[in-house]
Amino acid sequence: LAKTTQPISMDSYEGQEVNITCSHNNIATNDYITWYQQFPSQGPRFIIQGYKTKVTNEVASLFIPADRKSSTLSLPRVSLSDTAVYYCLVGDGRYNFNKFYFGSGTKLNVKP
Amino acid sequence: GAGVSQSPSNKVTEKGKDVELRCDPISGHTALYWYRQSLGQGLEFLIYFQGNSAPDKSGLPSDRFSAERTGGSVSTLTIQRTQQEDSAVYLCASSHPPGLAGGPPVVQYFGAGTRLSVL
């Protein structure tokens, strides 16, 4: 399973755009990049997933450069409720039983 | 139910006792996963079920840990002779079966977890 590296923590203010970058130098050809969000006392929740270039949904955008060795989760205009831990996962569901290495994630603290 | 349900939400036990944690997955999800999360840490994979079988038990930390799933639905994680280092939040997730050829990983849906405290 490809290992990922992300910042341990980040601070931001309400209304700002937040970009969290994840490094995955050993990503394999069949691997996808998936981000989950975890609030205190809750299980993680799926945010976004992509393979290459750019993916956007109602919550976030995911930017993946051509070499796929890193990816950036972009949260537009964050609010206090976006304070959470964000996990970057890399894996191929088919060949790894959808088993992911969650790591420690990035703790995002949004301030008023 | 609408989501993954875990019970109990909190469990306090004495060292050496056995505990059972229950997970009720989303209806129709054939895949089920157990994870462990220690305070302030990431998730540690424990075991994966597809239907009633467990093709991947690689994450179980010792032979005191076991899990079963019956009827392709409810799963029970059992910890025998609990130790203080077993104290953690135990999370369960379910999903549709992993992996169409060349397709993306399926989304896992998590319960709120069971917080286990071993005194």
CA-based nearest distance A1→chain B, Å: 12
Note whether A8 contacts B: Cβ–Cβ < 8 A.
no
CA-based nearest distance A98→chain B, Å: 6
Q: Give yes or no for residue A96 having a pLDDT over 70.
A: no
Give the domain CATH number at A67.
2.60.40.10
Q: Give yes or no for residue B101 having a pLDDT over 60.
A: no
Residues with Cβ within 8 Å of A50's Cβ and at least 6 positions away in sequence, in order, are A32, A33, A62, A64, A71
What Å distances lie between residue A64 and A5, A85, A98, B29, B114, CA to CA?
15, 20, 21, 30, 35
In a domain? residue A3: no
**Chain-chain contact of A32 with B50 (C-beta, under 8 angstroms):** no
Sort B77 into a burial class: Cβ within 10 Å, 0-12 / 13-18 / 19+: buried
Q: How many domains are contained in chain A? A: 1
CA-based nearest distance B104→chain A, Å: 6
In a domain? residue A89: yes
In a domain? residue A100: yes
In a domain? residue A19: yes
Give all domains of chain B, ordered by start, each with its CATH number.
5-98 (2.60.40.10)
Q: Give yes or no for residue A1 having a pLDDT over 70.
A: no
In a domain? residue A74: yes
Mean pLDDT check: name the lowest of B7-11, B18-22, B84-88, B98-102: B98-102
Q: Give yes or no for residue A60 having a pLDDT over 90.
A: yes
Q: What are phi and psi of B85, to 5 degrees?
A: -70, -5
Q: Taking CA atoms, what residue in A is nearest to B113? A: A43
Q: Please, what is the Cα angle at B96 between B39 and B50, to 5 degrees?
A: 80
Q: Which domain holds residue A13?
A: 9-111
Q: Are B85 and B36 in contact (CB under 8 A)?
A: no
In a domain? residue A37: yes
Give the pLDDT band of residue B74 (cuts 50, 70, 90): very high
Q: Taking CA atoms, what residue in B is nearest to A92? A: B105
Torsion of CA A97, B38, A21, A48, to 10 degrees: 50
Which residues in chain B touch residue A100, judged by CB atoms under 8 angstroms apart? Answer: 45, 105, 108
A70: tokens are 């890193």
In a domain? residue A1: no
